[in-house]
């Protein structure tokens, strides 16, 4: 499937344009039943009768978009409903998340959500939502970022990168990422500060994939990406990984020798982990239905193949309870980090 990356990427972009231009909205559900008290993971009698919207707060072609389109196809087949991915970009996920917050809690609107939407964005920007505005009901995947440069760059390791720019203070380090306040933005900022470099400038894009495209075109010096977005580029050697930005090395054979940023001497371990959400107030019966459907989809050969071929690291074991158990402490810890770095606005 790796060899089909380019075809999938093009298809994803075309599908995204179609979804955005069609203005697909959830159908009228006024005849649906209100109620229920079943817990997630138990059998539900509720089922969708009409189009379902799955929000993607990032642009087409990135890791999130590709994985959600694969999942939406499977869910459509399973449920008989038309599950449509809707890209709403901007603000490192804030625009799409804010719009999703206003959706009716009727089971016809879901969204991909991410730890950074709650652990970084509220302290960097004025946002209208909190974690209490959503039901975060099942894990999706973990995406440790890799710091990458062009393959023709005059450095092959993180140490050489730091040495080069200390010796060339007149050259500006332009670093690309998927939006201000996102994990890609913050990890690179923290790294550059800890490395004692001052000649740098942030360049935000609508998605991580756009940042990597800019890197290939020579418009930025470095960027963060992951194995889903850039599997083909990494495999072909068009971009060079310098380190993985996580507390552990990647559990992938091809990259087992790639050191973590922490191993290189820079204590930066923020990683991206994602989950699926419904609006707060969604009846338990509906939460149960979608939990069961998503867990079933994770056993589908198409999803398993996608995860294997793109080195997707699953965190499907997460539930509503365990997501919050991990997320709440991270919100507090990251807030302190942002305050210490002088980046927090509140």
What per-residue confidence (pLDDT) applies to 247? 85
- CA dihedral defined by 278, 284, 289, 293, rounded to 10 degrees? 50
Q: What is the mean pLDDT of residues 46-55?
A: 96
Tokens of 100: 């999703």
What's CA 209's distance to the chain center, in Å?
A: 11
pLDDT at 168: 96
Is the pLDDT at 27 greater than 50? The verdict is no
Query: Do 191 and 266 touch, CB atoms closer than 8 A?
Result: yes
Write down the pLDDT at residue 4: 37
pLDDT at 5 over 60: no
User: Alpha-carbon distance 83 to 199, whole Å?
Assistant: 46
Crossing angle (nearest 10°) for helices 5-22 and 63-79: 70
Grade residue 39 by pLDDT with cuts at 50, 70 and 90: very low
Full set of structural domains in the chain with CATH: 2-143+272-340 (3.40.190.150), 145-255 (3.40.190.10)
The pLDDT value given to residue 153: 97
Please state, in angstroms and rounded to a whole number, the distance separating the CA atoms of residues 114 and 29. 28
State both tokens at 110: 């879901």
CB of 121 within 8 A of CB of 272? no
Mean pLDDT, to the nearest integer, of 166-194?
Answer: 91
**DSSP three-state, residue 139:** strand
85-94, 163-172, 179-188, 196-205: segment of lowest average pLDDT:
179-188
The fraction of the chain above a pLDDT of 70, given in percent, is: 87
pLDDT band, very low/low/confident/very high, at 40 (cuts 50, 70, 90): very low
Mean pLDDT score across all residues of the chain? 86
Query: Is 30 a residue whose pLDDT tops 80?
Result: no
Strand partners, 230: none
Banded model confidence at residue 14, pLDDT cuts 50, 70, 90: very low
Kindly tell me the number of DSSP H helices and DSSP E strands found in the chain: 12, 11
- pLDDT-derived band at 51 (thresholds 50, 70, 90) equals very high
Number of neighbouring beta carbons within 10 Å of residue 126: 9
- pLDDT, position 11: 41
CA–CA gap between residue 231 and residue 5 (Å, rounded): 8
For position 2, what pLDDT does the model report?
37
Q: The whole model's pTM is what?
A: 0.72
pLDDT of residue 208: 83
Residue 35 has pLDDT above 50, yes or no: no
Determine the average pLDDT of the residues in 229-258. 91
């Amino acid at each position: 499937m790796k060899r089909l990356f380019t075809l999938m990427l093009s298809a994803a972009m075309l599908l995204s344009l179609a979804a955005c231009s069609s203005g697909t909205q959830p159908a009228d559900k006024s005849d649906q039943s209100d109620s229920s008290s079943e817990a997630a993971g138990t059998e539900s009698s509720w089922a969708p009768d009409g189009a379902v919207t799955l929000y993607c707060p990032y642009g087409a072609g990135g890791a999130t978009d590709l994985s959600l389109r694969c999942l939406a196809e499977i869910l459509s087949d399973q449920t008989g409903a038309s599950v449509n991915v809707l890209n709403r970009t901007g603000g490192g996920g804030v625009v799409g998340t804010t719009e999703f917050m206003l959706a009716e809690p009727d089971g016809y609107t879901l969204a991909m959500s991410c730890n950074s939407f709650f652990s970084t964005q509220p302290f960097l920007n004025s946002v209208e939502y909190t974690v209490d505005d959503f039901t975060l009901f099942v894990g999706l995947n973990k995406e440790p970022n890799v710091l990458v440069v062009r393959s023709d760059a005059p450095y092959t390791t993180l140490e050489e990168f730091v040495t080069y720019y200390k010796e060339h203070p007149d050259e500006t380090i332009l670093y690309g990422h998927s939006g201000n306040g996102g994990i890609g933005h913050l990890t690179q900022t923290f790294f550059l500060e800890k490395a004692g470099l001052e000649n740098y400038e942030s360049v935000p894009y609508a998605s991580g994939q756009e940042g990597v495209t800019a890197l290939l075109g020579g418009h930025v010096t470095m960027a963060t990406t992951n194995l889903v977005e850039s599997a083909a580029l990494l495999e072909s050697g068009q971009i060079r990984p310098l380190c993985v930005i996580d507390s552990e090395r990647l559990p992938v054979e091809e990259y087992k020798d790639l050191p973590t940023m922490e191993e290189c001497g820079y204590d930066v371990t923020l990683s991206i982990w994602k989950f699926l959400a419904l609006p707060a107030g969604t009846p338990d019966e509906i939460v149960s239905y979608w939990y069961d459907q998503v867990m079933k989809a994770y056993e589908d050969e198409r999803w398993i193949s996608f995860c294997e071929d793109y080195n997707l690291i699953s965190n499907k074991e997460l539930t509503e309870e365990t997501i919050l158990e991990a997320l709440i402490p991270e919100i507090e810890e990251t807030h302190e980090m942002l305050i210490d770095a002088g980046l927090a606005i509140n």
